[in-house]
Chains A and B, each alone.
Chain A
């Protein structure tokens, strides 16, 4: 029987703190963006002029159209390529399945703009492969613009579709398939009439995550879009370039972008609710026996996707040990790039490590109690908290950062220019990770344990601290590592908020993209890859044990 815990002070305190924090650093900044979009340049008069200006400008109209087109293409392509992969992984005897499964986690933690950057280093105007091919007289098409961006999205975001679909397929009660066969359907017909419809919600749920992620993404289009306007990038450029008191045009793009992603998040949440409807199974469905031909074909298909997606990262690491003379890459292997990187300053690395650590602890300190209250104390208030704590998903990093700058660069609380505003932005953005990590573990801990503790005389707050935190510890650590890794490769908010000495590795890369320091950028990227892969590899087993959703 599922009966809500009675009212006590603990959930109210947690809810209060959470609302205060998210109100100050998420809702208020968004409100300021919203306000900015309806005010004139001086920030005093209400007007619709800004919207008229953006709508009447072909350039900004195109940025909306381009963003939507690219996201739609990337979502459809990712889904079409990944759905068969998921089915093969769940139901066919693929060679090296365990290794394959572990490798599919990597694209989730590796920074996607590094993949984009690698593509430029290899196939760009001055790319290594482009050069090599030109020297033998072969020209390749441009990888800039829509094709390159969509390609990077597919290669880096396919796990968003893969993981929920595999989970859905594994949760399928095989007896429904057997019932279908028993009633006279062929295997093929059973798949299309029974198996596929049951996992559709899982596939769509993942596809919507891809849609949200591509709409928000700043780094990939920044690297690959060239002259093509993209909303998240243009909002940033407008904000940096706008000289008026009120960042009106950036506000308009921000509002439009938040509306689109919110719409996608709302639909995604609806599907998430239904995601468990296939879980009647006590054991995963058995593998389907296929001939060696199919087996080889399916194995090649799966491995190809995974390996191709990792090629850019591998290339970046190799390039980081090579020497650039002007734009030309020379096959001399040395540590020169790294020496140069550290000779300049070790500060960015220190900053990345420090800020990620602070953000991981901050997100855990706030997110774990929120996850606990949402899961254990169901009420109308905690339902609202659940929605608010998911909101950061729908807000592009660039837009949140712009909102934070507008809100806190003057007045009673000035945060701009320091490290704190970066940490606050990270905690807000990655809060959903720790909230969901904590509720994922709680779903595996029987609620009567807490009741037993309370019944024995320990107050709800002390029960949470003394009993639940130790029980949840493995999952909390997993969630913190994910947050740490995500923050280390965060670019979109950082690039708006960093100042002077608070450059991070991603900012160094970002700056190198425009300059000529390709070797330096590659070394920075390699460092970033190292610092994201190692922690995740260390806690990989922990994450799997707690069946922690990485999405």
Chain B
């Protein structure tokens, strides 16, 4: 029912262009995440949808109905704030009922809907409690109940988990996702945490400097990053630049320093890319690289590269290894936990990778 159409929206604060020419089509019932480093414009964009920040240009519509000219209190969005913004002078029940009072819902219906909303967030029976008696996680649930009870067209979440501790954060993000799916509500979620975004989103828009960098499904954003910025922002990666020296069937052979890499499949070409311009930037994820032990064979179609261990970091489920290529370049490798007691600094390694998992970009 409610799609959100953001059409060439822009906003600047003084000389800073906070949001530039952003266009997005968010589908009905979609969990859509705006992801990016601080200052990328994601919060500004969310506040524009909520009505707390004016547009310099463009328009925003809910289900074809333009809303950017409506005052904030008539937009029927439910917003969950980073610091919860629970009214300290009202009880939990009073907080949840607040938006219903504003909508002149009859008292009997308010009681029912508040009880239902609290049940939804597992806070049944908390309606007479005061906010100062609740923990951070409980306050967060009240905030979500308060936003959902008004049956908003769009649920807006502004880094709602950043004030919770790590374990609770993981738990709550699962609950938020489940709640959103069971209600089928359109949700727009702002975060700077790429893991959080990957875990809960239907689609992600990565933003940088006020503009969209890439909009896609989480797996595509991670595996087929459109730009080096996205590739680096979405997690640890190895980013190199080199020159295409020759083609070997479907593969391109790239010379990066003294090392040759193989790339298979399409190389994302920037608009400025021309024939004969053979410089490219490419990346390979650490977990796509495998250590070939003595006696093991390289999988068919994989390429190899020789390196020397420079640092080993044991992280429990994962072990991160920093290796050095012959020309001194750093190549990061990540392995699932396995007995690697033999790995020591200075040890030579043979590393293998699938050329289809190397992503190339047009040189900037």
What is the CA–CA distance of A457 and B77 in the complex, to the nearest angstrom?
9
Q: What are 21 A-B residue pairs whose CB atoms fall within 8 Å in the complex?
A: A1-B44, A3-B13, A6-B54, A446-B85, A449-B85, A451-B52, A451-B79, A451-B85, A452-B81, A455-B50, A455-B51, A455-B72, A455-B77, A455-B79, A457-B76, A457-B99, A457-B103, A457-B150, A467-B87, A471-B88, A471-B89
Q: Are B102 and A6 touching (Cβ within 8 A)?
A: no
**A451-480 CB contacts (< 8 Å) to partner B:** 451-460, 462-463, 467, 470-471
Q: State which residues 24-52 of A face B: CB under 8 Å.
A: none
B126 at the interface (CB under 8 A from A): no
Q: Of A3, A8, A453, A455, which is within 8 A of B87 by CB?
A: A453
1/0 per residue, CB under 8 A from A, across B221-253: the answer is 000000000000000000000000000000000
Q: Does A325 contact B (CB under 8 A)?
A: no
Is A98's CB within 8 Å of the partner chain B? no
Q: Does B82 contact A (CB under 8 A)?
A: yes
If A3-B52, A456-B146, A458-B98 are given as contacts, then 17 extra A-B residue pairs at C-beta distance below 8 Å, sorted by A number, are A3-B13, A6-B53, A6-B54, A6-B72, A448-B81, A448-B83, A452-B85, A455-B50, A455-B156, A456-B73, A457-B76, A457-B103, A457-B150, A458-B73, A460-B72, A462-B102, A471-B88
- Our count of residue pairs bridging A and B at CB distance below 8 angstroms stands at 85
The answer to whether the Cβ of A5 comes within 8 Å of any Cβ in the partner chain is yes
Instruction: Name, among B44, B81, B88, B156, the residue most crowded by chain A CB atoms within 10 Å (CB to CB).
Output: B81
A460 & B73 in contact (Cβ 8 Å cutoff): yes
- In the assembled complex, the Cα of A446 lies from the Cα of B52 at a distance in Å of 15
Nearest to B88 among chain A residues (CB) is: A471
Q: Flag if B78 contacts A455 (CB, 8 Å).
A: yes
| Residue among A3, A7, A457, A458 with max Cβ neighbours from chain B (10 Å) | A457
- Distance in angstroms from B90 CB to nearest chain A CB is 9
Contact indicator A448/B85 (Cβ below 8 Å)? yes
Point out the residues of chain A lying under 8 angstroms from B87, CB to CB. Answer: 449, 452-453, 467, 471
**Chain B residues with CB below 8 A from A467, complex form:** 87, 89
CB distance from B162 to the nearest CB of A (A): 13
B43 touches A (CB below 8 Å): yes
B residues near A451, Cβ cutoff 8 Å: 50, 52, 72, 79, 81, 85
Query: Please, what's the 1-or-0 string for A205-223, where 1 marks a CB less than 8 Å from any CB in chain B?
Result: 0000000000000000000
B167 near A: Cβ within 8 Å?
Answer: no
CA distance A462 to B156 in the complex (A): 22
Q: Are B98 and A3 within 8 A (Cβ)?
A: no
In chain B, residues 49-80, which have Cβ atoms closer than 8 Å to a Cβ of chain A?
50-54, 71-79
Chain B interface size, as a band, is 35 or more
**A3, B44: Cβ atoms under 8 Å?**
yes
Asked whether B47 is an interface residue with its Cβ less than 8 Å from the other chain, the reply is yes
The interface residues of chain A lying within 8 Å CB-to-CB of B75 are 455
Contact present for B83 and A446 (CB under 8 Å):
yes
Docked CA distance A7–B43 (Å):
19
Question: Which residues of A lie under 8 Å from residue B52 when comparing CB positions?
Answer: 3, 5-6, 451, 454-455
Q: Which residues of A contact B99 (CB under 8 A)?
A: 456-458
Across the interface, name the chain B residue whose C-beta is closest to A2: B13
In the complex the two chains form, is B54's CB within 8 Å of A457's CB? no
Q: Which residues of B contact A455 (CB under 8 A)?
A: 50-52, 72-73, 75, 77-79, 147, 156
Complexed CA–CA distance, A6 and B69 (Å):
11
Q: For A459, list chain B residues within 8 Å (CB).
A: 71, 73
B60 → A minimal CB distance (Å): 13
Query: Which residues 5-19 in A have Cβ within 8 Å of B in the complex?
Result: 5-8
Instruction: Please give the distance in Å from B132's CB to the nearest CB on chain A.
Output: 14
Q: What is the CA–CA distance of A462 and B72 in the complex, to the nearest angstrom? A: 13
| A5-B52, A449-B85, A451-B85 given; A456·B150 CB < 8 A | yes
Question: Given A3-B52, A6-B54, does the pair A458, B102 have CB atoms closer than 8 Å?
Answer: yes
Given contacts A6-B51, A456-B150, contact A1 B43 (CB under 8 A): yes
* Contact between chains at A8 and B89 (CB < 8 Å): no
A7: chain B residues within 8 A (beta carbon):
54
Against B, the Cβ 8 Å flags (1 = close, 0 = not) of A94-133 are 0000000000000000000000000000000000000000
For B80, the closest partner residue in chain A by CB is A452
Measured in the bound complex, the distance between the Cα atoms of B84 and A455 in whole Å is 13
| Distance between A523 CB and nearest chain B CB, rounded to angstroms | 45
A7: nearest chain-B partner, CB-CB: B54
Q: How far is the CB of A468 from chain B (nearest CB, A)?
A: 10
Bound Cα distance A455, B71 (Å): 10
Q: Which B residues are CB-close (under 8 A) to A457?
A: 73-74, 76, 99, 102-103, 150
Residues of B with C-beta under 8 A to A3 = 13, 44, 47, 52-53
A452 to B77, CA, bound (A): 10
Q: Which residues of B contact A456 (CB under 8 A)?
A: 73, 78, 98-99, 102, 146-147, 150
**Chain B residues within an 8 Å CB radius of A463:** 73
Q: Quote the shortest CB–CB distance from A11 to chain B (angstroms).
A: 13
Docked complex Cα distance between A148 and B72 (Å): 60
Residue among B52, B81, B83, B98 with max Cβ neighbours from chain A (10 Å): B52
For the complex of A and B, 8 pairs with smallest distance between CB atoms: A456-B99, A457-B102, A448-B85, A452-B85, A455-B79, A6-B54, A448-B81, A458-B102
A460–B150 Cα gap in the complex (Å)?
Answer: 18
Chain A minimum-CB-distance residue to B97: A456
**B83: chain A residues within 8 A (beta carbon):** 446, 448
B48 → chain A, closest Cβ, in Å? 9
CA distance A398 to B51 in the complex (A): 47
Residues from chain A with a CB closer than 8 A to the CB of B72 are 6, 451, 454-455, 460
Alpha-carbon separation in the docked complex, A462 to B102 (Å): 10
Closest to A9 in B: B71
Q: Please indicate the chain A residues that have their CB under 8 angstroms from the CB of B54 in the complex.
A: 6-7
Q: Which residues of B contact A462 (CB under 8 A)?
A: 102
A295 to B54, CA, bound (A): 59
Complex contacts, A470 vs chain B, CB 8 Å: 89
Shortest Cβ gap from B66 to chain A (Å):
16
- List residues of chain B with CB within 8 A of the CB of A448: 81-83, 85
Q: List, in ascending order, chain B residues with CB within 8 A of A8's CB.
A: 71
Q: Which residue of A lies closest to B13 (CB)?
A: A3
CA distance A515 to B26 in the complex (A): 83
Contact bitstring B332-348, A, C-beta under 8 A = 1, else 0:
00000000000000000
Please tell me which one of the listed residues B44, B71, B98, B147 contacts residue A453 in the complex, with CB atoms under 8 A apart: B98
Assembly CA distance A7 to B78 (angstroms): 21
Complex formed: what's the CA distance from A122 to B146 in Å? 67
Q: Which residue of A lies closest to B55 (CB)?
A: A6
In the complex, what's the smallest C-beta–C-beta distance from B306 to chain A, in angstroms? 48
Chain B residues 233-290 with CB under 8 Å of chain A are none
B96's nearest neighbour on chain A, judged by CB, is A456
Q: Which residues of B contact A454 (CB under 8 A)?
A: 51-52, 72-73
**A296 vs chain B, min Cβ distance (A):** 43
* C-alpha gap A303/B87 in the complex (Å): 43
Q: Chain A nearest CB: distance from B54 CB in Å?
A: 4
**Residue in B closest to A5 when the chains form the complex, CB atoms:** B52
Kindly state the separation between the CA atoms of A1 and B38 in the bound complex, as whole angstroms: 10
A6 CA to B52 CA, complexed, in Å: 6
How distant is the Cα of A470 from the Cα of B88 in the complex, in angstroms?
10
Q: Give Cα A471 to B88, complex, Å.
A: 8
Q: How far is the CA of A459 from the CA of B51 in the complex (A)?
A: 12
Closest Cβ–Cβ distance, residue B58 to chain A (whole Å): 15
CA–CA, A472 and B330, complex, Å: 58
Residues of B within 8 A of A449 (CB): 85, 87
